[in-house]
Amino acid sequence: MTILTPKAYDLVVVGAGIVGLACAYQAFKRGLKVAVLERNAKCVGASIRNFGFVTVTGQRPGDHWRRARESRDVWLEVAGNAGIPVLHRGLYLAAQRQEAKVVLEAFLQTEMAEQCRWLSAKEQRELLPFVKNMQAVLFSPLECRVESREAIGQLAHWLESACGVDFYWKTAVTSIDLPHVVTANGKVRTSYCIACPGHDLYSLFPNLQQQAGIRMSTLQMLRLVPAMPIKLPGAIMSDLSLVRYEGYSGLPQAQALLRRLQVEQPDHLKQGVHLIVVQSADGSLVVGDSHVYDDAEDPFASQARDELILQEFERVINCSGSKITERWVGTYASADDVVHCVSPIPGAAIGIVTGGTGASTAFAFARELVDTVLHSS
């Protein structure tokens, strides 16, 4: 078997999505010599297709919420060092129904609402003049957003240039046989390996999907150019998000909201549509999303689902005549457990965020993964 490089590493990471890059960063912080092997010429997976929205408040309570808090702090530190612009800080949860306001009132009583507060009527008018039918708006200062499609490449570049991480692009890993990781281009010597394959559960671990009870969640996303320029002060979410994100949907008060939405917006619920709106540096809006769950990813973007997303957008944002300039789909691995971390052989681990929250939680999860491999042999 050919040798890809004469170098020997402490840790080889498979996959240059956010989870793989976060592992490389956490290993670098521990002084390990790291290489990242990525089969594509650049990252094209879920990590560049998402909102870049680092969400803290809506996460599943407990460990995952703590992962999000920790990861948000690391994002801000890394973004500063890597020159990655943070485009938004904060989240505006715009309740349009009384039942949604009640959910947010209950959320405010939880530990996860630390630092969150209601916007005054004056603040609502000044900050969100384009938001319709506001019963109340809860502001969370904890969230931030980066432009993922650029940020992921910038992060990889910074890890290489400032942290000494070696990147091998166009290098598909075919097996892990420590002390080697075998690729289509030759083998690499390493003490440890963490595989972060995202939703590709077949190439390296053909039985993993069945064993772990993982399904595929395929999302549709839109980019809109508003007819009239608007300036978002932060990310915006609406009532539908309160029955999706577990930090809110797990509250008993969410049941009344769900019952009302089942009557008023059954198609949105059926297609897993809720609303996140964020803004890019050029003023365009990234708007989503819908969720289709199946054993395999859904290759087809449906016009009907786009229309449901647009309906919810127009229900909340007064911005008619916006032009759609991009549509795309993205897929993530989904399971009841929000993260999947196993050690198939001593010295190796597989790490997958199965809750659709990798942008928000990867840095903390990566710290756990590095611990797992270092203690697995």
Please give the torsion angle defined by the CA atoms of residues 5, 3, 39 and 80, in that order, rounded to the nearest 10 degrees.
-20
| 47-55, 95-103, 155-163, 306-314 -> range binding ligand FAD (CB under 6 A) | 47-55
What single DSSP character describes residue 200? -
- Read off the tokens for 1: 């078997």
Contact assessment for residue 5 and residue 187, using Cβ atoms and an 8 Å cutoff: no
| 117-125, 224-232, 257-265, 358-366 -> range binding ligand FAD (CB under 6 A) | 358-366
Query: Positive or negative CA dihedral for 175, 176, 177, 179?
Result: positive
Rg (CA), the chain: 21
- Read off the tokens for 220: 């549709």
Cβ 90 to ligand FAD shortest distance, Å? 14
Binders in 270-289 for ligand FAD, by CB under 6 A: 289
| 2-10, 37-45, 153-161, 312-320 -> range binding ligand FAD (CB under 6 A) | 37-45
> Which residues 6+ apart lie within 8 Å of 89 measured at CB?
141, 143, 144, 145, 234
- Read off the tokens for 18: 């956010």
Q: Does 332 engage in binding with ligand FAD (CB under 6 A)? A: yes
> One symbol per residue from 220 to 249: x for binding ligand FAD (CB under 6 A), - otherwise; what is it?
-x----------------------------
| One of 271, 357, 364, 366 touching ligand FAD (CB under 6 A) | 357
- Main-chain phi, psi angles of 119, to 5 degrees: -80, 140
| One of 11, 12, 13, 19 touching ligand FAD (CB under 6 A) | 19
Query: Strand, helix or coil at 181?
Result: strand
Distances (CA, A) of 203 to 45, 165, 174, 195: 15, 24, 7, 11
Q: Are strands 186-195 and 180-183 parallel, antiparallel or unpaired?
A: antiparallel
Query: Which is closer to ligand FAD, CB of 102 or CB of 165?
Result: 165
| 293-301, 341-349, 355-363, 366-374 -> range binding ligand FAD (CB under 6 A) | 355-363
Closest by CA to 364, choosing from 347, 351, 348, is: 351
- Main-chain phi, psi angles of 132, to 5 degrees: -95, 160
What single DSSP character describes residue 131? B
Cβ 333 to ligand FAD shortest distance, Å? 8
Query: Which is closer to ligand FAD, CB of 118 or CB of 169?
Result: 169
Q: Does 194 engage in binding with ligand FAD (CB under 6 A)? A: no
Q: Does 39 engage in binding with ligand FAD (CB under 6 A)? A: yes
Q: Does 200 engage in binding with ligand FAD (CB under 6 A)? A: yes
| One of 58, 226, 247, 356 touching ligand FAD (CB under 6 A) | 356
Size of residue set near ligand FAD by CB under 6 A: 41
| 128-136, 267-275, 337-345, 351-359 -> range binding ligand FAD (CB under 6 A) | 351-359
Cβ 259 to ligand FAD shortest distance, Å? 27
Q: Does 196 engage in binding with ligand FAD (CB under 6 A)? A: yes
Cβ 270 to ligand FAD shortest distance, Å? 18
Cβ 187 to ligand FAD shortest distance, Å? 13
Q: Does 11 engage in binding with ligand FAD (CB under 6 A)? A: no
Helices (H), the chain: 18-29, 46-49, 63-82, 98-108, 121-127, 148-163, 208-212, 246-249, 254-264, 266-270, 303-316, 358-374
**Which residues of this protein are in contact with ligand FAD, per CB under 6 A?**
14-20, 37-40, 43, 45-47, 49-51, 53, 55, 172-173, 196-198, 200, 203-204, 219, 221, 289, 330-332, 352-353, 356-360
